[in-house]
Amino acid sequence: MISKQFFSGVNETTGFIFALMAFAAGFAVRPFGAVFFGRLGDIVGRKYTFLVTILIMGISTAIVGMLPTYESIGVTAPIILILLRLLQGLALGGEYGGAATYVAEHAPMGKRGAYTAWIQTTATLGLFLSLLVILGTRIATGDNFDKWGWRIPFLISILLLIISVYIRSQLNESPAFKRMKEEGKGSKAPITESFGKWKNLKIVLLSLFGGTAGQAVVWYTGQFYALFFLTQMLLVDGKTANLLIAASLALGTPFFLLFGSLSDKIGRKKIIMAGCLISALTYFPLFKALSQYANPAFFEAQEKNPVVVVADPAQCSFQFDPVGKAKFTTSCDIAKGALAKKGISYTNEVAPAGTPAVIKIGTVATVNSFEGTGIPGDEFKAKMGDFTKQLGEGLTAAGYPAKANPDQINYFMVILILTILVIYVTMVYGPIAAWLVELFPTRIRYTSMSLPYHIGNGWFGGFLPTVAFAMVAATGDIYYGLWYPIAIALMTFVIGTFFLPETKDWDLDHHD
Distance of alpha carbon 316 from alpha carbon 336, whole angstroms: 8
User: CA geometry: angle at 437 spanning 435 and 440, to 5°?
Assistant: 105
Least confident residue range of 133-137, 186-190, 340-344: 186-190
* pLDDT tier, 232 (very low <50, low <70, confident <90, very high otherwise): confident
Are 489 and 381 in the same domain? no
Shared domain for 313 and 390, answered yes or no, is yes
Give the integer Cα–Cα distance in Å for 44 and 57: 20
d(CA 194, CA 209): 17
- The confidence score (pLDDT) of residue 95 equals 80
Inside any domain, residue 142 = yes
Nearest-10 crossing angle of helices 198-207, 445-455:
40
Does the residue 512 lie in any domain? no
Asked whether residue 506 is assigned to any structural domain, the reply reads no
- d(CA 340, CA 347) in angstroms, rounded, equals 12
Name the 3-class secondary structure at 324: coil
pLDDT at 430 > cutoff 90: yes
Q: How does pLDDT run across 185-213, given as a tens digit for each residue? A: 766 778 888 888 898 899 999 999 999 99
Please indicate, yes or no, whether residues 368 and 227 belong to a single structural domain of this protein: no
The least confident of 88-92, 110-114, 220-224, 323-327 is 323-327
* Crossing angle for the helix pair 432-439 and 198-207, to the nearest 10 degrees: 170
3-state secondary structure of 164: helix
Question: Which residues make Cβ contacts (< 8 Å) with residue 233, sequence separation at least 6?
Answer: 291, 343, 345, 472, 478
Contact 69, 217 (CB under 8 A): no
Residue 448 near residue 212, CB atoms below 8 Å: no
Q: Looking at residue 253, what is its pLDDT?
A: 92
With respect to residue 148, please indicate whether it lies within any of the assigned structural domains.
yes
pLDDT over 80 (residue 4): no
Query: Are residue 233 and residue 326 in the same domain, yes or no?
Result: no
* Final residue belonging to a domain, choices 397, 429, 448: 397
Rounded CA separation 222/353 (Å): 42
> What is the arithmetic mean of pLDDT over 107-129?
87
- 167 and 43 in a common domain: yes
Residues 238, 179 share a domain: yes
Which of 373, 397, 421 lies at the terminal end of a domain, its last residue? 397
> Are 201 and 268 in the same domain?
yes
Do residues 304 and 388 share a domain?
Answer: yes
Higher pLDDT, 324 or 440: 440
Kindly state whether residues 370 and 462 are assigned to the same domain.
no
| Residue 475 counted as domain residue | yes
Nearest to residue 232, comparing CAs of 507, 71, 473, 511? 473
165 and 71 in a single domain? The answer is: yes
Model pLDDT, residue 273: 98
| CATH classification of the domain holding 449 | 1.20.1250.20
Say what the alpha-carbon torsion angle 74, 75, 80, 81 is, to the nearest 10 degrees: 90
The average confidence (pLDDT) of the chain is: 86
- CA distance linking residue 191 with residue 197, whole number of Å: 10
Q: Which of 8-12, 29-33, 253-257, 320-324 has the lowest mean pLDDT?
A: 320-324
In DSSP notation, 412-450 reads: HHHHHHHHHHHHHHHHHHTTHHHHHHHHS-GGGHHHHHH
252 has a pLDDT exceeding 90: yes
**Residues 306 and 286 grouped into a single domain:** no
Whether residues 109 and 217 fall in one domain: yes
Residue 6, pLDDT score: 63
How many domains in the chain? 2
Q: What is the DSSP string of 90-141?
A: HHHHHHHHHHHHHHHHHSPTT-HHHHHHHHHHHHHHHHHHHHHHHHHHHHHH
Residue 511 domain-assigned (yes or no): no
The mean pLDDT value for 268-289 works out to: 97
Mean pLDDT of 466-493: 89
- CATH number of the domain that 391 lies in? 3.40.30
Q: What is the mean pLDDT of residues 363-376?
A: 91
Per-residue pLDDT band at 476 (split at 50, 70, 90): confident
Domain that residue 377 falls in: 300-397
Please tell me the distance from the alpha carbon of residue 284 to that of residue 458, in angstroms, as a whole number. Answer: 24
Check residues 45 and 109 and name the one with the higher pLDDT.
109
